[in-house]
Amino acid sequence: MKISPITATVRYMRQSKLFGKTRKEKPSDEIAKNAILLEQGGFIYKTMAGVYDYLPLGFRVLERINAIIREEMNAIGGQELFLSALQPRERWEKTGRWEKLKDIMYQFKDNSGHDVGLATTHEEALARIATHSIQSYKDLPLFVYQIQTKFRDEPRAKSGLMRGREFLMKDLYSFHTSKESLNEFYEIAGKAYERIFERCNLTSYKTEAGGGTFTNDITHEYQVLSEAGEDTIFYCEQCGCAQNKEIANIKEGDACSSCKAKIKVGKSIEVGNIFRLGTVFSETFNLLYSDEKGQKHPVWMGSYGIGPGRLLATIVEVFSDEKGIRWPSSVAPFQTHLISIPGNDLMVEKKAEEFYATLNDKNISVLFDDRKEKSPGEKFADADLIGIPLRIVISSKTLKENAIEIKKRDEEKTKNIPYDDIKTIISYVQ
């Protein structure tokens, strides 16, 4: 498995200076585990229902998830762009979605009296803009994507980062000369999605789902099993096939049609979806290409979504226990959490500072709990809550043996290793 780089420039940080503090009390207005743990851990700040701010710790995780997504999108030929959230009404009138989406789309008048809205998705915008890039069959296929802020006026924003009113979306759009070309890319995009979820340590099921408003074709959702999910799927653990309950023609206990294993049922979180849009949007926006003979045809389109914030929330739902979060190393905000327990021993402080510098030298990212006012118990509780994969403790006790204590977040046992044994640390964080 590839480990994506920590893209933020800062590899190390002192907890005494960290913007965003942990708190002992659970937020009283949250019911979703992801929101509770992320707010308690100082990853996010709640501005209002369904609207969250990413603080430095949370933003680091988000950026790592986005780095994984970008690598996989670029690997299948995606070109990154960034479209405006503010949209003119006319564009949405053309597809009838100004009216259709009015309950969830933020729509208002600007100061000059024009109707504008905040985009919930960008099919209209892309079909319009693509008319300037696509004329000939030679221009196709084309794949563009963005990681951009979307808005939805959700009436039930109670699931923390899982269902926001303002949220990030990675949306990929593909343009093709034919249905065959679209189908071929649909499979390629699906495989890229599987790699993204795998790199986040999540087991996803490619789940058959209804076509929504654009298409009668089967579409697919990527679902991760979790009690926090809003969907229910019937799935086969053996071969991975799955159907959303909404369209399912199988049930629990049936024999899987491809491998004969027993079908199971479970609640799940939709972490991604892929759609074959066909030619609906290109016909509406006159997005045409000329073939070899100069004849014009509508362009075939597909769209493919992943919510990076929802993905982050899903990781928290799946990888957490009663003490806090357990980040997979591929998305953790730091690789190591260095904790000094100085007591009255000035030597501990000195050796901890030295060790902090060594980790920096070796390019191992580290959050350094150098706080003087906190007890060892408080520091350990915070480390469990924040959930960095490897905890390193330096205290009078360990220094007597010229050692440091290490512990993986997902294991109970601690272990002492020699103070200068950086090789072991490196082997743990890789």
Residues at the site binding Zn ion, with contacts judged by CB under 5 A = 236, 238-239, 256, 258-259, 261
DSSP string, 146-183: EEEEEE---S---SGGGS-SEEEEEEEEEEESSHHHHH
**Residues with Cβ within 8 Å of residue 383, at least 6 apart in sequence:** 337, 339, 369, 391, 409
d(CA 324, CA 24) in angstroms, rounded, equals: 11
Question: Which residue bears the tokens 């979504």?
Answer: 305
Question: In the complex with Zn ion, which residue's Cβ is closer, 83 or 261?
Answer: 261
In three-state secondary structure terms, 305 is strand
Count CB-CB contacts under 10 A for residue 112: 6
Report how far residue 331's alpha carbon sits from residue 219's, in angstroms, rounded to the nearest whole number: 28
Q: Cβ closer to Zn ion: 263 or 287?
A: 263
Q: Encode 27-62: b = buried (16+ Cβ within 10 Å), e = exposed.
A: eeebebbbbbbbbbbbbbebeeebebebbebbbbbb
**Residue number, 254 or 421, with CB nearest to Zn ion:** 254
Q: Where does 279-396 show beta strands of DSSP type E? A: 288-290, 296-298, 300-306, 320-321, 324-325, 336-341, 366-369, 390-395
C-beta of 184 vs 252, nearer to Zn ion: 252
Q: How far is the CB of 207 from Zn ion (least distance, A)?
A: 13
Cβ closest to Zn ion, residue 258 vs residue 414: 258
Q: Which is nearer to Zn ion, 98 or 205 (CB)?
A: 205
CB-based contacts of 321, cutoff 8 Å, min separation 6: none
Rg (CA), the chain: 25
Query: 58 in helix, strand or coil?
Result: helix
Least CB distance from residue 165 to Zn ion, whole Å?
A: 38
- Pick 76 or 261: Cβ nearer Zn ion: 261
> Shortest Cβ distance from residue 96 to Zn ion (Å)?
40
- CB 206 to Zn ion: min, Å: 12
Considering the complex, what minimum distance in angstroms separates the CB of residue 295 from Zn ion? 44
Shortest distance, position 198 Cβ to Zn ion, whole Å: 19
Instruction: Kindly state the smallest distance separating residue 62's Cβ from Zn ion, in Å.
Output: 34
Beta-bridge mates of residue 341: 395
Of 137, 50, 124, 405, nearest to 284 by C-alpha is: 124
Would you say 77 or 253 has its CB closer to Zn ion?
A: 253
To Zn ion, the closest distance from the beta carbon of 260 in angstroms equals 7
